[in-house]
Amino acid sequence: MADTVKIDYKNIFYPPGGILMWIVIYLELVTFGIALVFMALNARAEPEMFHESRLLLNTAYGAINTIFLLSSGWCMAQSVYFLKKGNFSKSKLFLNLTILGGFLFLALKSVEYYDKVEVGLTIGYNDFFGYYWMLTLFHVVHVIVGIVILALSARTLRKKPETLKIEDYQSGATFWHMCDLIWLLLFPIIYLLF
Partner 1 sequence: MEWTFNITWLVLIVLTIISAVFANLDFAYVAIIILGLSFLKFIGVAFFFMELKKANVFWRVLLVAFLGLLLTVVWAV
Any contact of residue 111 with partner 1 (CB under 8 A)? no
Closest CA to 108 of 61, 176, 60: 61
- Cα separations in angstroms, 40 against 82, 100, 121, 142, 194: 42, 33, 20, 23, 8
- The total number of residues shown for the chain amounts to 194
- Contacts for 148 with CB less than 8 Å, ≥ 6 apart: none
| CB closer to partner 1, 30 vs 117 | 30
Any contact of residue 88 with partner 1 (CB under 8 A)? no
Residue 25 burial (CB count, 10 A): 18
| CB closer to partner 1, 160 vs 166 | 166
Judged by CB under 8 A, which of 31, 59, 110, 163 binds partner 1? 59
Any contact of residue 181 with partner 1 (CB under 8 A)? yes
Give, as ranges, the residues between 144 and 173 that touch partner 1 (CB under 8 A).
173
Residue 184 near residue 66 (C-beta atoms within 8 A): yes
Give, as ranges, the residues between 64 and 83 that touch partner 1 (CB under 8 A).
66-67, 70-71, 73-74, 76-78, 81
Write out the residues near partner 1 by the rule CB under 8 A. 9-12, 15-17, 22, 26, 29-30, 33, 36-37, 40-41, 44, 59-60, 62-63, 66-67, 70-71, 73-74, 76-78, 81, 173-174, 177, 180-181, 184-185, 187-189, 191-193
